[in-house]
Amino acid sequence: MTQVRPAVHLVASGFIGEVGLHNGALNLVDRDMLRAFNSALAEAATNTQLRCLIVHGGDARAFCAGSDIKEFKQFRHDASEHKILFEDMVLRTLSRMAMPTIAAIDAPALGGGLEIALACDLRVVRKGVSLGLTESRLGGLAGNGAVRLARLIGPARAKEMLFTGETVTTEAALAWGLVNTVVEQGSALEAARRLASTIAERGPMSNRLAKTLVDAAHDMPIDAALSRSIVAQQQIFDGNDLHEGVAAFLGKRTPEFSGR
């Protein structure tokens, strides 16, 4: 009997995990895909070895082309119950993963697809790939994406993207801070793997705490965020990684971080 691959699948190798989207040619977001995505993230969250997580679109024609609009009619009066709340939960789960996350975008990321990428910490995109929150073309709204996009690139540019529903070039995306890297040679996934390898070599406790502090800088008043930074610094000094790193530096060897 042929085993059916889930719409989203986690592959873990050493310190790096890869969440691949495998939901048809366009990786459309539907209920089955969201359930599989949620399960993959839950599995990744319990893997204490992972130091970086990559999300990619597999071999599909799109990283993710957004929601399956054929589902919309059945959600007319109870969309929050059957789609919006669950989708928001999955995106929040992705954004709150303890380890750094990277979206590797080798094909268009549109609508809900860009929302997935925006929920990652970093975005690596292949040159020439289309990016956009295109929901307004159908009279729809990228709710989760509107908030994350505005925080990332500022209100004026976010409003332009949302109001027009137009895609942006990878050059503009890089200049605006929408993406971190535009790859001209090879694939975005290959580049994301190189970046993930570099991240995995660094102190895992340091990276986890750095992620919480950067997020706190957006979410909290500055005094509260700075107070949290003091607690995080004390955790670093109380742990083993910093002292291993110092010993390795003085001993002119590669550190062996434990994440504790």
Per DSSP, the three-state class of 17 is strand
Looking at 135, 160, 166, 190, which residue is catalytic? 135
User: Is 71 known to be catalytic?
Assistant: no
Judge contact between 116 and 55, C-beta under 8 A: yes
Q: Do β-strands 8-13 and 16-21 pair in parallel, antiparallel, or remain unpaired?
A: antiparallel
Is 160 tagged catalytic? Answer: no
Amino acid letter, residue 36: A
Catalytic residue selected from 81, 115, 160, 166: 115
Closest to 15 (Cα-Cα) out of 55, 48, 67, 50: 50
d(CA 28, CA 67): 5
Residue 127 Ramachandran class (φ > 0 left, ψ -120 to 50 alpha, else beta): beta
Q: Which residues contact 29 (CB under 8 A, 6 or more apart)?
A: 23, 64, 66, 67, 68, 87, 112, 113, 116
The secondary element (H helix, E strand) that includes residue 39 is: helix 31-46
Residue 21 sits at the vertex; the CA angle it makes with 16 and 23, to the nearest 5 degrees, is: 160
Q: So which residues are the catalytic ones?
A: 115, 135
